[in-house]
Structures are given as C-alpha cells and as structure tokens.
Structure 1
Amino acid sequence: MEIQELHDDELIAQAREWRLRALRGEKEARGMAHELEREVRRRFGNTQAETQHSLKEVRVLGELP
C-alpha cells in the first residue's frame, strides 16, 4: 500500500482500522498504524495539539471579577 497515494477519506479510514487492530494486540499492526497516523498529521496538522493550546487564560477562582 502506498500511503501517500491514498485519498484523504481512505487514509483516515485505514489509520483508524490499523490503530484498532494494534489496540487489539496485533503486533504487526502497530507500525502500519504509526505510519498512517504520521501521514494524517502531515496532511492535516496536529489538530489535537492545536485544541489543547487554544484554551483561554486560566485564573484562580479568587481573582475572578
């Protein structure tokens, strides 16, 4: 399978499928899941990290107006 030639929808579906296989204990699936997820991050960015950094300023409860 040429990962870079997969269409976006197929890439995401394959990444999910291989990650599930890896989580079920298929040792050979872990490497493929990693490669597919790396391509997803390359194409779409790391949306999970962006979400974590988009939190507003945190204030101590006593400092609120």
Structure 2
Amino acid sequence: MENSASMLETQNLDSNGLAALAAEWRRRALRGEENARGIAHALEVEVRRIGGTRPVPAHDLDTRPLALRQPDRPWWKPW
C-alpha cells in the first residue's frame, strides 16, 4: 500500500468510511489512475478483514455514461 497522508487517515475510519474510501479508489482505478488498483485492493481487503460492510456493488462503480448504462427499450413499446 502506498505510504501517503491519505492512506494514514484510514486508521481513524470506521468500516463504512473505509468501504467508501475503497470505493473511491476503485473508481479511480477504473478510470485508469496509476497505482489506484493496488490501493483499492488493499482497502477492500481491510474492509473484509474487519468484517464491516461489503465493498460497493459493481453497478455503483460503472463509469460509462448514464445513457449507455440504461437498457434499450423494446421496439414494440414506443413510450
């Protein structure tokens, strides 16, 4: 895990705060930020270790535009 000021703040977080931080780093990793994947993984491991909330579901981490995430309407329902 990277040794930065933001990572040192994890010691004072509860399980929900840690899960939120893990989700933020996972979003950064999905956007291609260098080293974010390893940090996200380490935070998710810590969340699982302390038995807190599970990491954010994958549908919350989808970085595609909203229009691409919504399913297509069937052609027979024009409304």
**Band of TM-score, shorter chain:** 0.5 to 0.7
Give unmatched runs, 5+ long, in structure 2: 1-6, 55-79
2:29 counterpart residue number: 22
Any stretches of 5+ residues in structure 1 without a counterpart?
48-65
Q: Please, what TM-score do these two structures have when normalized by structure 1?
A: 0.58
Runs of 4+ more than 3 Å apart? 2-5
Looking at secondary structure, tell me which structure has more helix per residue.
1
The structure having more radius of gyration, on CA atoms, is: 1
Aligned length: 46
Considering only aligned residues, what root-mean-square deviation do their CA atoms show, in Å?
1.9
2:29 and 2:47 map into 1 onto residues whose CA distance is 17
